[in-house]
């Protein structure tokens, strides 16, 4: 509980497990991005849950645009080997601890923390992906040149 939380008697939100589509932000990146999870374990609102190993650049975490250095994030991103949980998690995915909105992932290149903006449980990102897939499928015959 932070100092202001104590002063105004506000309680911190409990950590939520991260799922496919969790929104992430790098404090030095140009824009936020989303967490991709490829797991057969689906148990939160029909979405795959993320684990400590879901930290691979480009595969799990798309680039954040340009870094404050002016270079593209994709070439600058050098992440820890795995997410760290400040509190041990008993829930497992693929035999690994789940990650939550309180989990920590650092960029080794610059030493800054990747921030979790949302858990992804709202499904907004997944709905966007499904809409894009459906549009692509419907338009694929329209744009075909024979």
Query: Three-state SS across 9-73?
Result: CCCCCCCCECECCCEEECCCCCCCEEECCCCCCEEECCEEECECCCCCECCCECCCCECCCCCEH
Which pLDDT belongs to residue 124? Answer: 86
Q: How far apart are CA 74 and CA 57, in angstroms?
A: 8
The pTM for the full model equals 0.80
Q: With bands split at pLDDT 50, 70 and 90, how would you rate the model's confidence at 94?
A: confident
Quick one: tokens of 50? 């993320």
Q: How far apart are CA 55 and CA 99, in angstroms?
A: 11
SS3 136: helix
Q: How far apart are CA 53 and CA 33, in angstroms?
A: 18
pLDDT digits (tens, 9 = 90+) for 112-138: 899 999 999 998 888 888 788 888 888
Quick one: tokens of 78? 């050098």
Between 83 and 93, residue with greater pLDDT: 83
Count of all residues that appear for the chain in the document: 146
Which pLDDT belongs to residue 2? Answer: 58
**89-97 long-range contacts, CB within 8 A, separation 24+:** 91/17, 91/49, 92/51, 93/39, 93/41, 93/48, 93/49, 93/50, 93/51, 94/39, 94/40, 94/41, 94/51, 94/53, 96/51, 96/52, 96/53, 97/51, 97/52
pLDDT digits (tens, 9 = 90+) for 12-49: 678 999 999 999 999 999 999 999 987 776 677 788 89
Is the pLDDT at 145 greater than 80, yes or no? no
**Residue reference for tokens 């929104």:** 23
């Amino acid at each position: 509980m932070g100092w202001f939380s104590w002063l105004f008697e506000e309680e911190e939100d409990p950590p939520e497990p991260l799922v496919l589509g969790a929104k992430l932000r790098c404090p030095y990146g140009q824009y936020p991005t989303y967490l991709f999870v490829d797991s057969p374990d689906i148990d939160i609102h029909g979405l795959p849950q993320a684990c400590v190993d879901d930290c691979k650049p480009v595969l799990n975490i798309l680039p954040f645009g340009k870094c404050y250095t002016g270079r593209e994030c994709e070439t600058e991103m050098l992440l820890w080997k795995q997410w760290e949980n400040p509190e041990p998690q008993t829930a497992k995915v693929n035999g690994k601890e789940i990650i939550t909105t309180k989990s920590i992932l650092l960029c080794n290149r610059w030493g800054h923390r990747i921030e979790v903006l949302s858990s992804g449980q709202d499904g907004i990102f997944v709905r966007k992906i499904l809409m894009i897939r459906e549009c692509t499928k419907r338009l694929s015959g329209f744009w075909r040149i024979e």
